[in-house]
Chain A
Amino acid sequence: MDLKTSIAWLIPLFPLAGWLLWGLFGKYFKGLSGYIASAFIGISFILSVILFFIVAYSHGFTDTLYPWVHAGIFKVGVSAVVDRLSVIMLVMVTGVSTLVHIYSIGYMQGDKGFSRYFSFLNLFVFSMIMLVMSNNLLLLYVFWEAVGFCSYILIGFWYEKKSASDAGKKAFIVNRIGDFGFAVGIFLLFFATKTLNYEKIFSMVPAMPVLTVTIIALLLFAGAVGKSAQFPLHVWLPDAMEGPTPVSALIHAATMVTAGVYMIARFHVLFSYSPTASEVVLIVGTFTAFFAAFIALTQYDIKRIVAYSTVSQLGYMFMAVGIGSYTAGIFHLISHAIFKGLLFLTAGSVMHGLSGELDLRKMGGLYSKMKITAITFIVGGLALSGIPPFSGFFSKDAILADVYNKGFYFAWAVGEITALMTAFYIFRLIFLAFFAESKVDKNLHVHESPKIMTLPMIIMAFFALTIGFIGIPPFNHSIFYNFLHVDFLNVNNFAPIVNNTPWYFLSLISVAAGLIGIYIAYLLYIRKAVDPEKIKSMFKPIYALSYNKVYIDEIYDFLIVKPLLAFFNFLWKVVDIKVIDGAVNGIAGAFAGFSVKARKIQNGMLMSYILTLSIGAVAILFYYFIR
């Protein structure tokens, strides 16, 4: 094993060791586990950065640690791919993880499950690193499910709360529905190519029938829809907010939920050879971006607003990969990971300061009481709204410009409207929480969070402000593009550029959309030019639709869950007990009735036995003679 492969395998080793340490011996470490866990992830981060530079200045590589499953022609090893795409992801994952770990030391202070928390957080980081590094579909699937499991266990971390354990279970099951499609996609892919190794698959894709490629791509996309919470499987993510807030920042904003986007970028060969599948990705992404932003407009729970925002922003990323702009998709993935992680951490800080309050109607005027939280939150909000020079401006505009220049005007228009709504809902939150008149409970001692929490927030805010500059000069000449597009050279260019509209013109529209959104929020909640209640009653049906999350949960419950449960009960109580077991007992009963009569034969008279025996013997002899 040479130096670079050693470094690569050391990256997942530290969080793995952390998981075992806190999981088994957590109670002996007490409060220390948080610090050591953060240090472990920090080491992984430093190693990731080193690996990043190794790969950037030489080239990517693959390596197999050990052969894993071997049956017939099915041979799969524990093997990694380290290329530019995976090192970027590694740096992002370990970097955000380190900050979230440090933040958690403060946030989870005094929780009785302190070590358990860090144990699972480390297991998550290990799984996410392995997911990014996997070099075959089986390994990818394994860690795809493993991150889902960590999400399940961390959402339900406070399992005494029924809503928390419900949310965890819901997340797992909804993800399983997507993973079912993902698994079938893997079966089909193995059937078509006889391998699960990425490189071998990609080399065969161009020669495969387009229909096969399309079906496989769509099945894999089903997994992405589940994991990245896209419509119609988005329902688990808002409920996932029952978990500790740093978990939402790490898993439900920065890393796990972006796995679907990463997967499509990783399988860009497959998706680019199926324009149909890519179009489906684009449609689902565009619709989800709009749909989730629409719900976020009227929510009062600050974490749920940010959660719906995540669903919406993931929609943008799917738009990008759906039109073959893989670098733009990954760029937004990275910048979103930072500013959305920041928004969650700051939302957690608000919660912390208000003793767990999440309802916007019980906030207001927090700016003066928690300045660092407020300012960092606003930085995140500006980035999310796409206001220059914050990172969201560069990354979101890169997507929207590509969408426009590749000729998808409708998707572009939806994207711009969504941008306006995005700026509105996040600034509605900011104004109501930090600047509107205070409705905070008077008995509550509002306080700024400790340094161990604010420091990661400040670092994240710094990057939310600066990371966008790797996106200049804009579009297909940027530092980021030039670095990453090396990995996407073997795509089929199914969506060529048809326009050459200059970037500043398109950016002007986006920025205008963002500013209008902010201004409307300002008019409504600071200037009070119009009473929001008035608008509510003017658009009552639409408001109700948004406020009730388009009734999706209710629809699922009514159309799927209830009928299925009734059917399963029917199967058990009627088919199993009455029909099958009834038949069995019926037969048994018939035999019992028969044996009552047969008992008469057994009358204890020797003569009748002999008679019966002789008749039998004669019958057998007779049979043999006539044969």
Chain B
Amino acid sequence: MDFFMKYLLTILIFFPTASIFLLLPINKKNESLLRNLSTFLSLVEFIISYYLFVYFKPDTYKFQFVEKFNWIPSFGASYFLGIDGVSLFLILLTTLLTFVSLLSSYRYIKEHVKEFVILMLLLETFMLGTFAALDILLFYLFWEFMLIPMYFIIGMWGTGRRIYSAVKFVLYTLAGSLIMLFGLIYIFIMHYNQTGNFTFNLLRLYHTNIPAGLQILLFIALFLGFAVKVPIFPFHTWLPDAHTEAPTAGSVILAGVLLKFGVYGFFRFAIPLLPTAALILAPFVIVIGVVGILYGAFVSIVQRDLKRLVAFSSVSHMGFIMLGLFALSAISVNGAVIQLLNHGIDTGALFLFVGMIYERMHTRQIKDLGGIAKKAPILTTLFLISVLASVGLPGLNGFIGEFLILIGSFRYYPVLTIIAASGIIFAAVYLLWMFQRVMFDESATSPHSSEHHAEIFEDMNLREIVTVLPLIILMFLMGFYPAPFLDRIGPTVLHFISMINHHKIVYNAIKIKAGLSNA
């Protein structure tokens, strides 16, 4: 038990990789065993991650479950892991959504099942590693490795223009990441120049002194890497393609976890490493965040492809999160972190339902869908709950995050917050309108294409209910009783804010001094 607790993070990260060796000897024809075993293993992985939650001490901002070993001493690279209140929940989200995705793929993934489940488990390792790494070299490796399994998942099991979408996704992110890498290495070298030590240790790099002008340039470099992942308008155009063409599991992981890395990157790297630049540039980031909220919502309203609509809604939702994070108030950052989780849960669930509808109707065109509510009451009810969570209906999780973001940001950016808040109107428009057309109205087009399918539309089976049930439960839990989440996120966020405020004071003092000397 001691060993288990001491190396919990390592065990967690590499358990999926290790479990691949269990799957390798299985004959690739034995698809049901492959599916069941991989799903079971991902459930075990989720249970392991639950131990993090149980043993996580909620009253401190300090990193917990820390593991540190020398890796490449001459470069100062180390195997350095640890989590705080923010990465804790992102890790739990990752393990949960991987389980959910594997469970959701029983019907959709029919070919190369073995390759698929192996890639999913491999992806899980890389995602978890990225969230737990506190060494920037280690972080970067995990970060880039993530692209490989995702590339294959979209490219091999996707639909339509899947190769185009997969390549676009990889090139887009890679371009951003390389610029980000340049920025990170530059900071690494500056730290060496100041201290004479090579280190990739993030916590030490936090103390690098970087002049404000240079900080801005470096921030822009890091910004490009993270902004593509978020994605922030106008770096978002890979997302509708990748989401739409990816298989359901791929969309769930993309929306649920991969998009989180952008925001996580800002929270863990860009802002604490370059606080002065973050303070100076925050208003600009917020402006494009708010533009993204409205832009994503507007474009969602006129989408004709169901999945593309949900994809664009992510652009809008992520805009809210960027607003909350860069408003840099304790309330809004708490809201941003909560909303990060909410978005993973709600949008993940929406993609699951879109997948179920697609599997039955073989179309995602909204005009060809309709009349499902009559045939499938369970699907209708659970889908509606997810839609309402995404709309931000109070009592469900989306509301808490949005409300905290807006009420926290209002103090510093009243006008932009009001503009952002109008997004809640448009969210209701595109989601409820979509729901009505897909579930209630009879389809507008030819009877033989869709109504034929609607006639035999079967309701959710037990496996599908089990797939979405954890997400539905979380929607209610986080809506009615968010305390277990907020209590653990709170200290981390408070520390983050006090760090920024400290820099604010220093920065203002410098400005005043400069002002005085000029006078």
Contact between B394 and A141, CB atoms less than 8 A apart: yes
Contact between A74 and B432, CB atoms less than 8 A apart: no
Contacts of B301 in A (CB 8 A): 565, 568
A585 to chain B, nearest CB (A): 9
A173 to B425, CA, bound (A): 7
Contacts of B429 in A (CB 8 A): 173
Partner of A173, one of B422, B428, B490: B428
A152 to B435, CA, bound (A): 13
Q: What does the 1/0 interface line of B480-506 toward A look like (CB < 8 Å)?
A: 011100110010011000000000000
A67 to B483, CA, bound (A): 8
Contact between B393 and A145, CB atoms less than 8 A apart: yes
Nearest residue in B to A187 (C-beta to C-beta)?
Answer: B410
B65 at interface, CB cutoff 8 A:
no
Complex interface: stretch among B10-18, B68-76, B260-268, B400-408: B400-408
The verdict on A571 contacting B417 (CB below 8 Å), with A72-B494, A183-B424 known, is: no
The verdict on A71 contacting B490 (CB below 8 Å), with A142-B395, A160-B374, A180-B421 known, is: yes
B505 to chain A, nearest CB (A): 19
Partner of B303, one of A156, A180, A565, A572: A572
Contacts of B432 in A (CB 8 A): 152, 169, 172-173
A437 at interface, CB cutoff 8 A:
no
B374 to chain A, nearest CB (A): 7
Contact between A159 and B440, CB atoms less than 8 A apart: yes
Q: What does the 1/0 interface line of A175-196 toward B look like (CB < 8 Å)?
A: 0110110011011101100000
Majority DSSP secondary structure for residues of B touching A: helix
A418 at interface, CB cutoff 8 A:
no
Nearest residue in B to A123 (C-beta to C-beta)?
Answer: B395
Complex interface: stretch among B248-256, B328-336, B455-463: B328-336
A residues 34-85 near B (Cβ < 8 Å) are 67-74
The verdict on A159 contacting B373 (CB below 8 Å), with A70-B487, A571-B295 known, is: yes
A565 to B429, CA, bound (A): 11
B residues 405-438 near A (Cβ < 8 Å) are 406-408, 410-411, 414, 417-418, 421-422, 424-425, 428-429, 432-433, 436
Output the residue of B330, B406, B407 with the most chain A CB within 10 A.
B407
A404 at interface, CB cutoff 8 A:
no
Contact between A190 and B171, CB atoms less than 8 A apart: no
Contacts of B237 in A (CB 8 A): 576, 580-581, 584
A165 to B482, CA, bound (A): 32
B234 at interface, CB cutoff 8 A:
yes
A204 at interface, CB cutoff 8 A:
no
Partner of B433, one of A146, A156, A169: A169
Contact between B388 and A149, CB atoms less than 8 A apart: yes
A547 to chain B, nearest CB (A): 28
Contacts of A142 in B (CB 8 A): 394-395, 399
Contacts of A427 in B (CB 8 A): none
A588 at interface, CB cutoff 8 A:
yes
A residues 128-187 near B (Cβ < 8 Å) are 138, 141-143, 145-146, 149, 152, 156, 159-160, 162, 165-166, 169, 172-173, 176-177, 179-180, 183-184, 186-187
Nearest residue in A to B429 (C-beta to C-beta)?
Answer: A173
B260 to chain A, nearest CB (A): 19
Contacts of B436 in A (CB 8 A): 165-166, 169
A279 to chain B, nearest CB (A): 24
Contact between B422 and A180, CB atoms less than 8 A apart: yes
Contacts of B330 in A (CB 8 A): 71-73
Contacts of A556 in B (CB 8 A): none
A190 to B331, CA, bound (A): 12
B172 at interface, CB cutoff 8 A:
yes
A143 to B417, CA, bound (A): 23
A186 to chain B, nearest CB (A): 7
Nearest residue in A to B298 (C-beta to C-beta)?
Answer: A568
A73 to B334, CA, bound (A): 11
A119 to chain B, nearest CB (A): 11
B54 at interface, CB cutoff 8 A:
no
Contacts of A558 in B (CB 8 A): none
A residues 570-584 near B (Cβ < 8 Å) are 571-572, 576, 580-581, 584
A25 at interface, CB cutoff 8 A:
no
A146 to B393, CA, bound (A): 7
B195 to chain A, nearest CB (A): 21
A609 at interface, CB cutoff 8 A:
no
A28 at interface, CB cutoff 8 A:
no
Majority DSSP secondary structure for residues of A touching B: helix
Contacts of B234 in A (CB 8 A): 580
Contacts of A580 in B (CB 8 A): 234, 236-237
Nearest residue in B to A165 (C-beta to C-beta)?
Answer: B440
A190 to B493, CA, bound (A): 21
B residues 358-413 near A (Cβ < 8 Å) are 373-374, 388, 393-395, 399-400, 403-404, 406-408, 410-411
Contact between B440 and A71, CB atoms less than 8 A apart: no
Partner of B404, one of A74, A145, A184, A572: A74
A494 at interface, CB cutoff 8 A:
no
Contacts of B331 in A (CB 8 A): 71-74
Contact between B440 and A160, CB atoms less than 8 A apart: yes
Contact between A184 and B421, CB atoms less than 8 A apart: yes
Q: What does the 1/0 interface line of B227-245 toward A look like (CB < 8 Å)?
A: 0000000101110000000
Contacts of A567 in B (CB 8 A): 298
A555 to chain B, nearest CB (A): 19
Partner of B394, one of A143, A172, A568: A143
Contact between B334 and A72, CB atoms less than 8 A apart: yes
The verdict on A149 contacting B298 (CB below 8 Å), with A191-B410, A584-B237 known, is: no
Contacts of B394 in A (CB 8 A): 141-143, 145-146
B residues 437-468 near A (Cβ < 8 Å) are 439-442
Partner of A569, one of B236, B302, B411: B302
A60 to chain B, nearest CB (A): 25
Contact between A72 and B483, CB atoms less than 8 A apart: no
Contact between B302 and A565, CB atoms less than 8 A apart: yes
The verdict on A184 contacting B374 (CB below 8 Å), with A143-B394, A166-B436, A572-B299 known, is: no
Nearest residue in B to A162 (C-beta to C-beta)?
Answer: B441
B476 to chain A, nearest CB (A): 11
Contact between A69 and B482, CB atoms less than 8 A apart: yes
A70 to B491, CA, bound (A): 12
Contacts of A169 in B (CB 8 A): 432-433, 436
Contact between B302 and A187, CB atoms less than 8 A apart: no
A86 to chain B, nearest CB (A): 20
The verdict on A72 contacting B395 (CB below 8 Å), with A162-B441, A576-B237 known, is: no
Partner of A186, one of B168, B236, B407, B408: B407
A330 to B238, CA, bound (A): 56
Contact between B404 and A71, CB atoms less than 8 A apart: yes
A71 to B373, CA, bound (A): 39
Contact between A69 and B408, CB atoms less than 8 A apart: no
Nearest residue in A to B422 (C-beta to C-beta)?
Answer: A180
Contact between B408 and A72, CB atoms less than 8 A apart: yes
A162 to B395, CA, bound (A): 28
Contacts of A572 in B (CB 8 A): 298-299, 302-303
Contacts of B490 in A (CB 8 A): 70-72
Going nearest first, the 10 A-B pairs with the smallest beta carbon separation are A72-B330, A142-B394, A71-B334, A187-B410, A581-B237, A165-B440, A72-B331, A568-B298, A159-B440, A568-B302
Which B residues contact A (CB, under 8 angstroms)? 168, 171-172, 234, 236-238, 295, 298-299, 301-303, 329-331, 334-335, 373-374, 388, 393-395, 399-400, 403-404, 406-408, 410-411, 414, 417-418, 421-422, 424-425, 428-429, 432-433, 436, 439-442, 481-483, 486-487, 490, 493-494
26 A-B pairs, CB-CB below 8 angstroms? Answer: A68-B481, A68-B482, A69-B486, A71-B334, A72-B334, A74-B404, A145-B393, A149-B388, A159-B373, A160-B374, A160-B440, A165-B441, A173-B425, A173-B432, A183-B403, A187-B407, A187-B414, A190-B407, A190-B410, A191-B410, A568-B298, A572-B303, A580-B234, A581-B237, A584-B168, A584-B172
- Give 11 A-B pairs besides A187-B414, A572-B299 with Cβ atoms closer than 8 angstroms: A68-B482, A69-B482, A71-B335, A71-B486, A145-B393, A145-B399, A149-B388, A160-B374, A162-B442, A183-B406, A588-B168
